[in-house]
Structure 1
Amino acid sequence: MGVAERMRDAEIAALDLVDNHPPGVLDHLVRTAALVTGAAGARINVLTSSAQHTIADSNGAVGRSDIEASLCARVIGTSPTGRHVVPDATVDPRLRDSEWVTSGAVTTYASTELVSSHGVAVGTLCIFAPQPVEVAESTMLALQELGAAAMEALETHRRDVDMQRLLSELAGGSRELRRSNEHLAAFAGQVSHDVQGPLAAVQMSLQLLEEEVATDGEPVQDPDAVAMLMRRAMSGAQRMRATVAGLMDFAVLGGRLEVARLDTGVLVEEVLQDLSARRGRTEVVVEDLPPVHGDGVQVRAVLQNLLANAMKYAVAERPVVRVSGRTVDGVTRVSITDNGPGVPVAQRSRVFDLMVRGDGVSQTGVEGLGIGLATCRRVVESHGGRIGVGEAPGGGADFWFELPDQTDQADQPGAVA
């Protein structure tokens, strides 16, 4: 076994792909790849030294197969660009004796390598067809973008597995940490909760992309729309990866924060994009927002939770959510209001406790676990700020949080155990 194969085996083991369920978003990616390129099929193959592991297939044919017959294993590492195009595999000396080619299942083959953040090619996203077809440069660019999105999903999967392992080790490490199981379980719930928005954005973009290109073999009707949806999916995947990585650092460092001056308007715009699948008919009014000082990943998690909460409880007939902010005496307050049922005065201090939901909202029939607001309080207090809820003008809830403009909280422990 060569050095490249040893490195690939180690990286695949770290990504925890072979014996566990891969991210479900990969199924959308391979179906989209097949539709965008017009290929008969598309696959994501992970290549260990002993086998090819198909972890996603546009036709559902996942599983382990012989590495000797693998087309992907024969081309990986042979191109400096990581892209491979074989218009006719029957005459290509690398591929022509593979059973996939000799059986007539594959004539045209193209792939892009999936390269990890450590620079190791762990596999490929490939397309194939039983007959000769032209693979245009635009097709390869689309395949390359989808391959990059797939790798983002796999890296996020790696960090999620690492987080669960870390939490397990912390929970069993000592009597004191075992007593903090409740906090650790809450933090695990926070990780899952906070990646749902970006994940929903990725899945929705890929579903729309599938619809856009599913034209029964006809040329794509709107290439600009396809490109836009691919960019949106990639952006969501990258934010999902950043969220998980940031929360891992937050736990490992005992709550240290990377404090910087943040453009609140940009953060809100990103969160609204991630929540677009949940937004529905809700009108969201965003006023000019002052900057805040805080950890970018953590503050975005607060905004995501509060905005998602407001969208859930806004009045169904004409749901309206408003985001506003102001700075007074060195403290910036950001308010998110809705026109829903509001929170009774007696419940306003308790709704930020873990697993608690206000009486007013519990009667709406909207599902929830009571994790998001508890998360928001932990994050805001770790920044030296405050969070609360009041009544919005005209009725509804006014959730707000305050952060000091100048802070040295980066060296202080946060509220997550």
Structure 2
Amino acid sequence: MKLRSYLLLANTISIAFIIVLLLVFFQYMLVTREQLIWLGLATVAAGIVSAFLFFLLIRPLEASVRRVGEGAGRIAAGELEARVDRTGLAEFRLLADQFNQMGASLEQSFRQVKAAESAQRELVANMAHDLRTPLASMQSYAEALEDGVIEDDATYRRYLATIRSETVRLNELIQDLFELSTLDRRTDDQVENVPAVLEDVLLELHPRFSMGLDAKGLQLRVRLPERSLRVNMLARHLQRILQNLIENAIRYSPHNGIIVIAAEEREDGVIRVSITDEGAGIAESERERIFERFYRTDRARSRESGGAGIGLSIAKLLVEQYGGRIGVEQAEGQGSRFWFTVNEAQGNQ
């Protein structure tokens, strides 16, 4: 039953009830016949006027309800950007506001779902490539060794070394994926703030990069304040951040280039650490996306460079979980400067 019909029926029932009461009063001689007639006519007239007023007043209500219904139908048909005009009585304006908020939330949720689906397809494609490349290399070298086509000992050892290096590469990729999923599940309450000493972490990391630095003839320069810098971050997490950023700098630095690691203290109790290289640099339009997982630019993040596109994502997650920020900027001259901030530990001397 429509709202108009419902209200008219309610009005008719009330008029009929009044007339029945008048007849009862007449039956028990509480009113005269003449009074009954006049009261009956007055009741019918009032009912007609009331019905007319109902008809006039119900039209804007019906229009407001119709607008909400049409908006709901458009959203149900997939038109998630549909909105309702904010007109009519205060209650219907409030209803329109709530409906529009619901529509905006649904539209945003739908976009997030589409973005997640796109990211999932991209992740699968990137993973397939990054896993297939070392596997194919290992398979070809293993088949060559199995067929006995390698006769000299030097080539034989070189093939074994290649298989081993590709195995290490696969293990690192799987470890990166595992760590990325672990960081996604970690909450702020699970972050421990055990101070780490920046120079100690750098000293421990240096041997890991010596081969990469020597292979490209790179110089590594470290510029730290005279006193030790203690930061509110677990040593292994600080080590992971620095390792990913330094590996990135080595990967994209030209031969015989210079990599500079620097740290500075700010007055607000924050330490800013930067890693600067002399590579090709990153376009300004891509600096925001460079920390997205599996993202690569045509120049600085090419597949041929060997990066899987996960290291910077892990660094970003770790930095932000400790309340810091991370970014990249153009270095003086040529190259990129990756930086992150971390809170200084209390009682730093």
Query: TM-score normalised by the shorter chain: which range applies?
Result: 0.3 to 0.5
- Structure with more of its chain in helix, by fraction: 2
> TM (normalized to structure 2)?
0.44
> TM (normalized to structure 1)?
0.37
- Structure with more of its chain in strand, by fraction: 1
